[in-house]
Amino acid sequence: MATLTASPGVASVARTRALERAELLHRILLGIAIVAAAGAVLILAVRGFAYYSLSLEERPLSPLHSQLRSSGTIGLKLGIFSLGMFAILFLYPLRKRWRWLSAIGVTRRWLNFHILLGVTTPCIVTFHTAFRFHGLAGVAYWTMVAVALSGFVGRYVYAKIPRSLNSVALSIAELEAQTADLAGRVTGQSFFQPQDLASLLEVPTPNEIRSMGLLRALWTMLRMDLARPFQVSRLRRRALDKSQRVATLGGLLPSHNRNLESMISNVWRQSRLRMAMAFLDRTARVFHLWHVVHRPFSISFAFLILVHIAVAVSVGF
């Protein structure tokens, strides 16, 4: 009996659709988690505002003191909950060492939840401390803040390394192919003249980039990213009439012209891709340096947390 097998093309399409479904599910779950985290922080802020706004001398007189102080009924639960969140946070770096864990999901999706926890956990810890930052707990708190801030830098640099849907870094050949494809689409359009696109597609020369230090290169990338939405808005205004410019807030919002928005999307992608390719070497070096800095801070913070817990248990909270 003949065995029916799917052609390579059909298998490729099926795999692409499976990746897209997985990506959609990830975005939905991430969205739910973001709403839940924001809601929890908002509830804590609203409920505790009357207490947290009091001076340290006035707080013991508040009826909320027994609940919201660090060792109170709610404050202590927030501390325990934060500890659980910390444990989940450290699963991300452990994933690289534990083979069974690395087989679950893809790195980029783990990183998204890692960042969400990295933002939410300091907020919950802040309410656990009742906005009191002194002694060993204060040292641990500010170390945690340093780790969280460095995490933002790491996420930004990570996003500068072009990757596929399954989080595999693209090769130079793949980047060049994508750039050539986008360049062909942009060249064949009739909305904009080449001089209109020059500032958006311009990147520093290789010699200029080589002369940059790592911090200057990082600042240059950030400056280009911040300028891009305004450069795109100027492009959009060139193709819209007066009423459409008002409706799009001066070109900052998408218009209803599908062809125009498709072309702007291509120009936006080409701009980002050209920048990513130009700074690829610098980005890799910054990312390596970030790992060198971020890891010791994280380990120091974990150690301080354990000491804080040991002291709190020994004195009976």
Residue-range domain boundaries for the chain:
19-165+291-314, 172-278
CA 19 to chain centroid: 20
Amino acid (1-letter code) at residue 187: T
**Measured between alpha carbons, how far is 236 from 252 in angstroms, rounded to an integer?**
8
**Measured between alpha carbons, how far is 11 from 291 in angstroms, rounded to an integer?**
38
Segments of the chain scoring below 50 in pLDDT: 1-2, 4, 165
Which of 290-304 are b and which e, b meaning 16 or more Cβ less than 10 Å from the residue's Cβ? beeebeebbeebbeb
Which of 219-239 are b and which e, b meaning 16 or more Cβ less than 10 Å from the residue's Cβ? ebbeebeeebeebbbebbbeb
Amino acid (1-letter code) at residue 10: V
For 49, other C-beta atoms within 10 Å of its C-beta total: 10
98: three-class secondary structure by DSSP = coil
pLDDT at 1: 46
Q: Residue 186 in contact with residue 197, Cβ under 8 Å?
A: yes
Give the phi and the psi of residue 316 in degrees, each rounded to 5. Answer: 75, 35
pLDDT at 38: 94
pLDDT at 286: 80
* 18 to 12, 25, 257: CA distances (angstroms): 10, 11, 30
* 40 to 78, 79, 92: CA distances (angstroms): 11, 14, 23
**Measured between alpha carbons, how far is 300 from 308 in angstroms, rounded to an integer?**
12
pLDDT at 235: 83
**Measured between alpha carbons, how far is 227 from 203 in angstroms, rounded to an integer?**
13
Q: What is the DSSP letter of 190?
A: S
Q: Residue 69 in contact with residue 75, Cβ under 8 Å?
A: yes
pLDDT at 41: 93
User: pTM above 0.95?
Assistant: no
Question: DSSP alpha helices (H): ranges in the chain?
Answer: 8-52, 65-68, 73-89, 91-95, 99-102, 107-128, 135-159, 172-187, 194-201, 206-210, 214-239, 242-247, 258-278, 280-314
pLDDT at 9: 61
* 207 to 202, 203, 247, 248, 305: CA distances (angstroms): 14, 11, 42, 39, 46
